[in-house]
Structure 1
Amino acid sequence: MIHSWFVIANPTSGNKKLSKKWKDIAQLLTEKNIDFSVGYTTHSKHEIELVHTAIQQGYRNIISVGGDGTLHNVVNGIMTQRYVKTSEITVAVIPIGTGNDWIKTHNIPINIEKAVEIIEKKKIILQDIGVLKLENSTTYFNNIAGIGYDGYVVNKLNKLKRFGSISYVLSGIAGLLFYKKTTFKIEIANKIIETKCLMTLFGICKFSGGGMKMTDYKNAADGLFDVTIAKNIGLLDLVFNLPKLYNGKIINHKKVETYLTKELKIIPQTADKPFIQVDGELIGTGIVTVSIKEKAIKFVIR
């Protein structure tokens, strides 16, 4: 087993910030006596391949340098490898992405020097990981997933990321204006809910969409999803309540319901299937089945 860290760095994260910041990151790691090797991603989901190779070579400590998408792929690499138990792997994050939502739950700063200091101290938790299955695919997630409005926003976001952090605002506005609500049949907590729905979110952590708090977050290691069902909320109502999307009070809206569950199933009831997003990444459309892997991966937190 190799005790040093394997760094996975995504040159395209945060509008290609890595080219400007990598020299500082490498210097800080060296100054803190953090021994490391590095692999750079060269294509979509390359992180998964790099993780498989690193674990096979004996690495058990991985640093994700990038945004939520980079971390998402690192997690999927860990969950799909078959060399060791996933709980033997430790992941740390140096955030240089656009949204950086996962780090907000665990109070990891976007300041690179402070993020490296956290890695040096190596305070570790075991966090749950979600498992989302579509008809022909399985995807793992470490933060929040959803179907409906948020999937529409992520689809728009992919076309607007060049605008930086404001791209979330622009995508959200587009969603408010153009997203058409869908009727969902939701099987959850021993009950069936059929409703016209703005979106259904199910999360392990607290933040998504560039800092929105839209679930009744409890704990990232309690073996349960925090589920939010936002029903038929109108455009003006949503605009009026926009601040509540960021301060977490949206869950108190009369058209919003929250649940805790280990698993759920969502069946869109219209021919035009809404987008599904996982950790801010689009993964497809269709019937969604979700379960949880308890305390699956070690993460370095503040």
Structure 2
Amino acid sequence: MSKSWFIIANPIAGNRKFSKQWKEIKQLLNNKNIDYSFVFTQFSKHEIELVQNAIQQGFRNIISIGGDGTLHNVVNGIMLQRYAKTSDITIAVIPLGTGNDWIKTYNIPNNIEKAIEIISKKKTIQQDIGVLETSDKNISYFNNVAGLGYDGYIVYKLKTLKRFGSIAYLLSGLAGLLFYKKSVFKIIFDDKIIETNCLMTIFGICKFSGGGMQFTKSVNTTDGFLDITIAKNLTIFDLIINIKKLYSGEIVHHKKIETFKTKEITVIPQITKPFIQADGELIGTGKINVKIIEKAINFVIHSTY
């Protein structure tokens, strides 16, 4: 097996010029004597094919260069391949994207030089991975946060607003407040059946989503449980007056929000077919089943975590 790193880079991630960033990345990797091969993505979800080819060739260390979407696709490539145990694979991240929510949980700076310093130390954690299945049997894996309802609508709107950079999350959130219509969700897990008018249901492994918002409570990325947040009949007014709590994580204590931990959950929208998102990527609409896969992949994290 190769001990070299295999880099998968998304040249259109973020809003700055990639060619300048790539020159800096290569120089810093060379300075740290980090051995690597690299390839650039050429189309949507190309990472899945590239990472599978790399693992087949013997690589077990992958660097994802881009945003949360790039990392999501790298993770899906690892989980879908059959050449090696997923727990034998290690992922590191050099963040270039718009949101970069996954890195926030592990105190990884949104800075190329500092991210490479962290890679050189190679402190790892074996993190849980979520797997969700839509009503049309579409399977997708996630390493951060997934959900359906309001947050799925935000991701849907974000696709047309990304040119505005980090403010795009706020703009798409405002659009959701104005246009998203709540639906009745039937939520089934353990011995519970909850049927309620619901703004959104969140499935969390890590803490942050939507550009730094925190909808999950008491997150532990290796405990083998999904952190579930059910935001019930929250209104536009509720969200506006609690905007700071969305970013501090205090929103989970709101009287219209319930939190749970479980290993598997099914959500069945009763009226509409709301958008489903995983790690900020749209993956379908309607009914969803979500499970946890314990300690599935190794991730390089900050030494202070």
Same topology, TM > 0.5: yes
Q: Which residue of 1 aligns with 2:237?
A: 236
Q: Which residue of 2 aligns with 1:256?
A: 257
Distance 1:218 1:139 in 2: 21
Distance 1:15 1:112 in 2: 15
Aligned to 2:120, the other structure's residue is in SS state: helix
Aligned to 1:70, the other structure's residue is in SS state: helix
Which aligned pairs between 1:64-79 and structure 2 lie closer than 5 A? Answer: 64-79=64-79
Which aligned pairs between 1:78-89 and structure 2 lie closer than 5 A? Answer: 78-89=78-89
Distance 1:47 1:280 in 2: 16
Q: Which residue of 2 aligns with 1:169?
A: 170
1:152-197, Cα deviation, whole Å (9 max, x unpaired)? 0000001000000000010000001110001100002310000000
1:33-76, Cα deviation, whole Å (9 max, x unpaired)? 00000010000100000001000000000000000000000000
Aligned to 1:79, the other structure's residue is in SS state: helix
Does the 8 Å contact 1:187/1:266 carry over to 2? yes
Aligned to 1:136, the other structure's residue is in SS state: coil
Distance 2:257 2:198 in 1: 10
- What is the number of residues matched between the two proteins? 301
Which aligned pairs between 1:171-250 and structure 2 lie closer than 5 A? Answer: 171-250=172-251
Distance 2:300 2:18 in 1: 21
How well do the aligned residues superpose, as a CA RMSD in angstroms?
Answer: 0.8
Does the 8 Å contact 1:101/1:211 carry over to 2? yes
> What amino acid sits opposite 2:22 in the alignment?
W
Q: Which residue of 2 aligns with 1:37?
A: 37
Give the CA deviation at 1:16. 5.4
Give the CA deviation at 1:12. 1.1
Distance 1:99 1:17 in 2: 17
Aligned to 1:91, the other structure's residue is in SS state: strand
Does the C-alpha gap of structure 1 residues 162 and 83 become closer, same or farther in structure 2, counting only changes over 3 Å? same
Q: Which residue of 2 aligns with 1:282?
A: 282
Aligned to 1:201, the other structure's residue is in SS state: strand
> What amino acid sits opposite 1:102 in the alignment?
W
> What amino acid sits opposite 2:217 in the alignment?
D
Query: Mean alpha-carbon deviation: is it higher for 7-16 or for 26-35?
Result: 7-16
Distance 1:191 1:167 in 2: 37
Q: Which residue of 1 aligns with 2:155?
A: 154
Which residues of structure 1 form unaligned runs of 5+? none
Q: Which residue of 2 aligns with 1:8?
A: 8
Distance 1:231 1:278 in 2: 20
Distance 1:217 1:139 in 2: 24
Aligned to 2:14, the other structure's residue is in SS state: helix
Give the CA deviation at 1:287. 1.1
Distance 2:253 2:283 in 1: 29
1:60-106, Cα deviation, whole Å (9 max, x unpaired)? 00000000000000000000000010000000000000000000000
> What amino acid sits opposite 2:34 in the alignment?
I
> What amino acid sits opposite 1:249 in the alignment?
E
Does the C-alpha gap of structure 1 residues 172 and 115 become closer, same or farther in structure 2, counting only changes over 3 Å? same
Does the C-alpha gap of structure 1 residues 144 and 17 become closer, same or farther in structure 2, counting only changes over 3 Å? farther
1:119-154, Cα deviation, whole Å (9 max, x unpaired)? 000001100000000122100000000000000000
Runs of 4+ in 1 over 3 A off after TM superposition: none
Q: Which residue of 1 aligns with 2:96?
A: 96
Which residues of structure 2 form unaligned runs of 5+? none
Does the C-alpha gap of structure 1 residues 97 and 55 become closer, same or farther in structure 2, counting only changes over 3 Å? same
Distance 1:286 1:171 in 2: 20
Aligned to 2:129, the other structure's residue is in SS state: strand
Does the 8 Å contact 2:204/2:219 carry over to 1? no
**TM-score with structure 1 setting the length:** 0.98
Distance 2:20 2:197 in 1: 46
Does the 8 Å contact 1:182/1:197 carry over to 2? yes
Aligned to 1:159, the other structure's residue is in SS state: coil
> What amino acid sits opposite 2:196 in the alignment?
T
Q: Which residue of 2 aligns with 1:52?
A: 52
Distance 1:30 1:93 in 2: 17
> What amino acid sits opposite 2:30 in the alignment?
T
Give the CA deviation at 1:234. 1.0
Does the 8 Å contact 1:189/1:260 carry over to 2? no
